[in-house]
Amino acid sequence: MSELKIQIEREIDIIAARQAGRQMAGQLGFSATDQTLIATAISEVARNILIYAQRGEIQIETIADGLRTGIQVVAADEGPGIENVDLALRDGYSTKNSLGLGLPGARRLMDDFAVASELGHGTRVTMKKWRR
């Protein structure tokens, strides 16, 4: 299994994380479409790190579950946390006057999606995509 960690502190780091996810997905044999979906989901959660926490980390790794192979992305920060995760996962909800598509959009693009957040201590988003 391989693993990459990308620090997210500037806009250019989002691009690096996207590219790393796309490249790893390609090496794992994901279709071009799934590579794009993974890269887009990474972009959304990395952008949230910048907007809400200013800095954090994206960890991308290969995973296996029996006969399945996939990619796992963990976006973690030590920012303010999310007050209401259920609300944050609704389309159109935003506290920063954006379109509110980041978390719900990323959730739709991936196969498995979980958010753990504690006010004042940060947020951790874990996403998985399985190769078909």
Choice between 57 and 67, residue whose per-residue pLDDT is larger: 57
Give me the pLDDT at residue 7, please.
98
Domain parsing of the chain, residue ranges: 3-130
Identify which has the larger pLDDT, 102 or 1. 102
Class of the CATH domain delimited by 3-130: alpha beta
14: confidence class by pLDDT, cuts 50, 70, 90: very high
Instruction: For residue 2, give the nearest of 19, 18, 25 by alpha carbon.
Output: 25
Spatial distance between the Cα atoms of 121 and 123, rounded to a whole number of angstroms: 7
Closest to 75 measured CA to CA, from 113, 105, 111, 109:
113
Quickly count: other Cβ atoms within 10 Å of residue 20's Cβ: 18
The predicted model scores a pTM of 0.91
Contact between 123 and 81 under an 8 Å Cβ cutoff? The reply is yes
Per-residue pLDDT tens digits for 38-49: 999 999 999 999
pLDDT band at 1 (very low <50, low <70, confident <90, very high): low
Q: Quick one: pLDDT at residue 88?
A: 84
